[in-house]
Amino acid sequence: MVKNQIIVESVVSQGLGVRATATKYGVSPAWVSTLVARYRSEGPSAFEPRSKRPHSNKLATPPATEDRIIELRKELLEFGTDAGADTIHTHLEREGFVAPSISTIQRILTRRGFVTPAPKKRPKSSYVRFCAELPNECWQTDMTHWHLTDGTGVEILTFLDDHSRKALKVRAYPTVTMTNVRRLFRQSCDCFGTPASLLSDNGAIYNAASRGGRSGFESDLIAAGVLYKHSRPYHPQTCGKVERWHRTLKKFLAKHPAATLGELQVVLDEFVRYYNEVRPHRGINRRTPSVAYNARAKAQPNTLIHQPHWRIRTDTVDVRGHVTLRHLGKLRHLNVGWAYRGHSIRLYVLDDVVTFATEDGEFIGETKIDPNRDYQPKGDGFR
């Protein structure tokens, strides 16, 4: 730097004193002494800019901890399971390390070349998540395909608890049939109790909606007092937890190939134990599914199947005298009357019966929604 060079030359070449030089150039005497000492030991390189970064950082992650982070990353990847910063953080704490923050672990993995920055994704805050309040309040079930080492196709059936993500029963079959579904469901109930509800897709192994009838599995659920729910066609997000389980499972199976159906079942049982008892799950505050499942009382059957659906909402009557309400997945237009155009009213909904009232609570009328119509006429009893 030019100023530093002038300061040094004024002392070394011109013989000006340290204090006089400091006063002349508006710096401290200590800084002048430092520059002169550097010049005498290093020569002209003493004038080059230097980093102000401290030589040590007492808050830095200890080398032993950082090395263990990298070892865990490699071990978990080799094992075929989740190896993210959340999981590594939990394993470090279990091993007795003073674990750095999850963001610090992520930075270490990125700096060491173990993480490739992903493209910007949709923010998590934009997702609407649904989760059962209690264990056994809702089970999810689905079937997925896999291949043995010789290319033979097999199918894997899963029953999963929605609240805790606990994998209840996972079984491999040459082909999953409804008989397999009914039998594995009964076995799951024998081990974990009967759920209040069950969610599946529209596969023929579960329901007979496409055939206009009722399947044996549906009859089993009704007899057991289990509310049966199924997703819309081509909408796997509804069964998102069991779909995500399949993704995690297949990542593990790819690292542990099986030659026979029996070997595959052994691998499945091993991973179910690891998934339920060891692997921390980010969706349940980094607890294991077994801990989350055992932490609360279990929901019981026959508690949802006959439970009415209540809701209250406020709407403004449009210029045609209608308000809107979503019922059975469709937007319905309910006729309140021209007299209430522009007024804000309340809708008290009990299943398919809607009671209308002013914001002051004055009764307007009541109607029963016809599921075959989008525009509903006025019901009986309107003022």
Per DSSP, the residues of 300-315 read -TTSSTT---EEEEEE
Decide: helix, strand or coil at residue 278: coil
Which of 6-15, 250-259, 363-372 bottoms out in mean pLDDT, i.e. has the lowest? 6-15
User: What string of DSSP letters covers 25-91?
Assistant: HT--HHHHHHHHHHHHHHGGGGGS------S--TTSPPHHHHHHHHHHHHHHHHHTS--SHHHHHHH
Average pLDDT over residues 324-342: 87
Higher pLDDT, residue 371 or 194: 194
Q: Between 168 and 101, where is the model more confident?
A: 168
Question: Quick check: 261 and 172 in contact, CB under 8 A?
Answer: yes
* Tens of pLDDT, residues 279-293: 888 888 889 999 999
CA 314 to chain CA centroid, nearest Å: 32
Contact 32, 9 (CB under 8 A): no
Place of tokens 């007024």: 343
Tracing tokens 């542990």 back to the chain, one arrives at 256
pLDDT at 83 over 70: yes
User: What confidence category does residue 1 fall into, taking pLDDT thresholds of 50, 70 and 90?
Assistant: low
User: Would you state the pLDDT for residue 191?
Assistant: 96
Largest separation between any pair of C-alpha atoms in the chain: 109
* Separation of alpha carbons 207 and 209, rounded Å: 6
105: CB partners within 8 A, 6+ apart: 69, 85, 88, 89, 99
Residue 192 has pLDDT above 80, yes or no: yes
Q: How do 375-376 and 330-335 pair as beta strands? A: parallel
Most confident of 81-85, 101-105, 122-126, 206-210: 101-105
Per-residue pLDDT band at 93 (split at 50, 70, 90): confident
Task: Calculate mean pLDDT across residues 67-85.
Answer: 87
Average pLDDT, the chain: 86
Are the beta carbons of 66 and 34 closer than 8 angstroms? Answer: no
Q: What is the pLDDT of residue 131?
A: 79
What is residue 146's predicted lDDT score, i.e. its pLDDT? Answer: 97
pLDDT at 190 over 60: yes
DSSP code, position 237:
G
pLDDT band for position 95 (cuts 50, 70, 90): confident
More confident: 238 or 216: 216
For residue 221, the model assigns a pLDDT of 92
Among the ranges given (9-18, 73-82, 112-121, 269-278), the one the predictor scored with the smallest mean pLDDT: 112-121
Q: Which residues make beta-bridge pairs with 334?
A: 323, 376
* DSSP bridge partners of 228: 198
Closest to 132 in 3D by CA, of 93, 165, 104, 85: 165
Which pTM value belongs to this model?
Answer: 0.62
Over range 82-96, report the average pLDDT.
Answer: 86
Closest CA to 159 of 198, 133, 126: 198
The helix/strand/coil state of 249 is: helix
The confidence band for 96, taking pLDDT boundaries of 50, 70 and 90, is confident
Comparing 152-166, 195-209, 243-257, the range with the smallest average pLDDT is 195-209
Residue 90 has pLDDT above 60, yes or no: yes
Q: Are 140 and 206 in contact (CB under 8 A)?
A: no
- Geometric angle at alpha carbon 70, from 69 and 73, rounded to 5°: 90
pLDDT at residue 238, rounded to an integer: 65
Percentage of the chain lying above the pLDDT 70 cut = 91
Given a cut of 90, whether residue 303 has pLDDT beyond it is no
State the Cα angle at 346 between 344 and 350, rounded to 5°.
Answer: 155
| Tens digits of residue pLDDT in 6-60 | 777 777 777 788 888 888 888 888 888 888 888 888 777 777 777 777 777 777 8
Distance CA 147, CA 175 (A): 12
Lowest mean pLDDT segment, chosen from 139-148, 169-178, 306-315, 371-380 = 306-315
- pLDDT number for residue 52: 74
Predicted pLDDT at 334: 93
For residue 40, how far is the Cα from the chain centroid?
62
